[in-house]
């Protein structure tokens, strides 16, 4: 098979990157964990989203600071490796791969669950299998296809979100069973419950991190990617908070939620009836497809970056297709891993995704301090604020959320990191050698990549 390596084609501007990030975040992801977080926070989901948004915004500023310094594919893996060395970079990328590998998978699981609910004669795994095959092919064909598909799918979600918010507000006006403040704060709100809920919701904000993985496919990445990261974080966080707020107005008591795993269907039916529930199904499936497209593209590019380093097998992960200019080996590998959606349990997968994200976010915040204040010796009040105080707060908040995860998620996540440590020991012959590194090269954005036989 003819392959290429080293660079990817630059085709994405700020709007495309924001759409890509929102597709990854999935505006309707609120309903994936709404019931679980409602129980955890005593029905204060919007407050949990605001807390998580604040924490993620500090981290988003850290990503935005590092993108101009390292405008390459690889995300947190690249930042940690450049700042702290190959060993830390590898373990950071390994931790981040946990949630990146699971994000496409959880969307395939959700597609199977919701379509099976409407067509019970067809098993969930059959829907999941078709979705895996179609989306893997789209990612192999090229990022332009993914970008155009995301534009349509995100648009459908936003239309539904606007309709739902209108229906929910109308219902709340006609049935004033809760005060306007109750979804945000009342006597039942506790800090431990709020943090536990926020830790679960951290997975919803992976969109801004995904944007950083597209630096080699963005036009003028030093300018466009930081802007897109901040915009996506704010827009996505506010959409999440608004949808969660009006949902709580529809069902203000957690005791009235009949099934936390399927709370969305109940909310839709209460707010406007069956037609809204059916509309929700179409929009939600569109969201799952968009998220699977975006997340599978991003993890393929992280594997591509690690393959170019030689940290993972180069022949499989470090090459791109001459025809489509995409990391075909990595994309196919992610498709194979996603087949686990045929047997995976939704709650187990959802509880693990935030582990890798929060661990990687913590390292990114520390990387800002290391790169700008220690390595570059930036001085002055502005530098200390921008590269010391803000990422320091980001680190504290993400670490706090990390330790608020369930014991099961922490245990399994640490086992995953342990496996990464073992592989790193093998790779470096007992840590006596440095992990291999790569020199990134640029080519003309229009010519794309160099072709190797």
Dig out the tokens for 129 from the structure: 């299998």
Dig out the tokens for 103 from the structure: 């994000």
Q: Are 99 and 357 in contact (CB under 8 A)?
A: yes
- Average pLDDT of the residues in 35-46: 88
Phi, psi of 426 (to 5 degrees): -65, -45
Residue 431 has pLDDT above 80, yes or no: yes
Phi, psi of 170 (to 5 degrees): -60, -40
- Average pLDDT of the residues in 291-312: 77
H-helix segments, 119-220: 124-141, 143-174, 191-201, 206-212
Predicted confidence (pLDDT) per residue in 203-257, tens digit: 788 767 778 767 667 778 778 888 999 999 999 999 999 999 999 999 988 888 8
- Which pLDDT does position 22 carry in this prediction? 80
Residues 179 and 249: their CA atoms lie apart, in Å, by 8
- Which pLDDT does position 387 carry in this prediction? 92
Question: What's the chain's length in residues?
Answer: 453
Q: Are 257 and 48 in contact (CB under 8 A)?
A: no
User: 145: buried, middle or exposed (CB in 10 Å: 19+, 13-18, 0-12)?
Assistant: middle
**Domain 3-452 maps to which CATH number in 3.30.43.10, 2.40.50.100, 1.10.1040.10, 1.20.1740.10?**
1.20.1740.10
Alpha-carbon distances, residue 144 vs 20, 151, 294 (angstroms): 11, 11, 12
Residue 373 has pLDDT above 90, yes or no: yes
User: Which residues, 6 or more positions from 270, have their beta carbon under 8 angstroms from its beta carbon?
Assistant: 171, 250, 251
Residue 442 has pLDDT above 50, yes or no: no
What is the value of pTM for the model shown? 0.76
- Which pLDDT does position 415 carry in this prediction? 93
**Residue with more model confidence, 343 or 306:** 343
**Percent of the chain beyond pLDDT 70?**
88
Nearest to 55, CA basis, from 350, 362, 386: 362
- Which pLDDT does position 447 carry in this prediction? 28
Upper half-sphere CA count for residue 287 (Cβ side, 13 Å): 24
- Which pLDDT does position 1 carry in this prediction? 42
pLDDT band for position 444 (cuts 50, 70, 90): very low
DSSP symbol at 446: T
Q: What does pLDDT average to over the chain? A: 81
Reading across the β-sheet that carries 3-5, which strands appear in turn? 320-321, 3-5, 450-452
Nearest to 241, CA basis, from 409, 37, 396: 37
Residues 112 and 114: their CA atoms lie apart, in Å, by 6
Predicted confidence (pLDDT) per residue in 104-162, tens digit: 888 898 888 878 877 888 998 899 999 999 888 887 776 555 556 666 767 777 888 89
Domain boundaries, the chain: 3-452
- Which pLDDT does position 11 carry in this prediction? 61
């Amino acid at each position: 098979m003819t392959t290429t390596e080293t660079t990817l084609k630059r085709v994405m501007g700020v709007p495309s990157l924001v759409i890509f990030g929102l597709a990854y975040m999935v505006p309707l992801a609120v309903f994936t964990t709404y019931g679980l977080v409602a129980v955890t926070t005593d029905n204060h989901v919007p407050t949990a989203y605001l807390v998580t948004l604040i924490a993620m915004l500090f981290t988003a500023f850290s990503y935005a600071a590092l993108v101009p310094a390292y405008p390459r594919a690889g995300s947190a893996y690249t930042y940690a490796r450049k700042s702290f060395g190959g060993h830390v970079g590898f373990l950071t990328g390994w931790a981040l791969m946990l949630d990146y590998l699971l994000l496409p998978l959880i969307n395939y699981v959700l597609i199977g669950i919701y379509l099976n609910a409407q067509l019970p004669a067809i098993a969930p795994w059959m829907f999941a299998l078709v979705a895996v095959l179609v989306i893997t092919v789209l990612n192999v064909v090229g990022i332009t296809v993914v970008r155009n598909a995301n534009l349509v799918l995100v648009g459908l979600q936003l239309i539904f979100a606007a309709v739902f918010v209108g229906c929910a507000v109308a219902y709340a006006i006609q049935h004033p069973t809760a005060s306007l403040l109750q979804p945000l704060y009342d006597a039942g709100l506790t800090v431990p419950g709020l943090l536990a809920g926020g830790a679960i919701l951290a997975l919803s904000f992976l969109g801004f991190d995904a944007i950083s993985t597209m630096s080699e496919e963005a036009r003028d990445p030093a300018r466009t990617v930081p802007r897109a990261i901040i915009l996506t974080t704010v827009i996505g966080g506010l959409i999440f908070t608004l949808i969660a707020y009006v949902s709580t107005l529809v069902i203000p008591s957690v005791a009235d939620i009949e099934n936390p795993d399927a709370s969305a269907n109940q909310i839709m039916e209460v707010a406007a009836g069956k037609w809204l529930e059916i509309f929700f199904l179409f929009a939600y499936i569109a969201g799952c497809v968009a998220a699977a497209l975006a997340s599978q593209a991003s993890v393929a590019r992280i594997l591509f970056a690690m393959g170019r380093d030689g940290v993972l097998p180069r022949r499989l992960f470090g090459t791109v297709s001459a025809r489509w200019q995409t990391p075909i080996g990595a994309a196919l590998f992610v498709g194979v891993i996603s087949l686990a959606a045929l047997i995976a349990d939704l709650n187990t997968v959802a509880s693990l995704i935030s582990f890798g994200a929060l661990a990687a976010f913590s390292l990114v915040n520390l990387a800002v301090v290391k790169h700008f204040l220690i390595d570059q010796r930036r001085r002055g009040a502005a530098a200390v604020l921008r590269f010391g105080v803000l990422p320091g707060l980001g680190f504290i908040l993400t670490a706090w959320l990390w330790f608020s995860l369930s014991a099961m998620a922490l245990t399994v996540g640490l086992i995953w990191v342990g496996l990464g440590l073992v592989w790193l020991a093998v790779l470096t012959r007992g840590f006596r050698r440095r992990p291999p590194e790569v020199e990134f090269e640029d080519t003309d954005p229009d010519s794309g990549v160099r072709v190797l036989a």
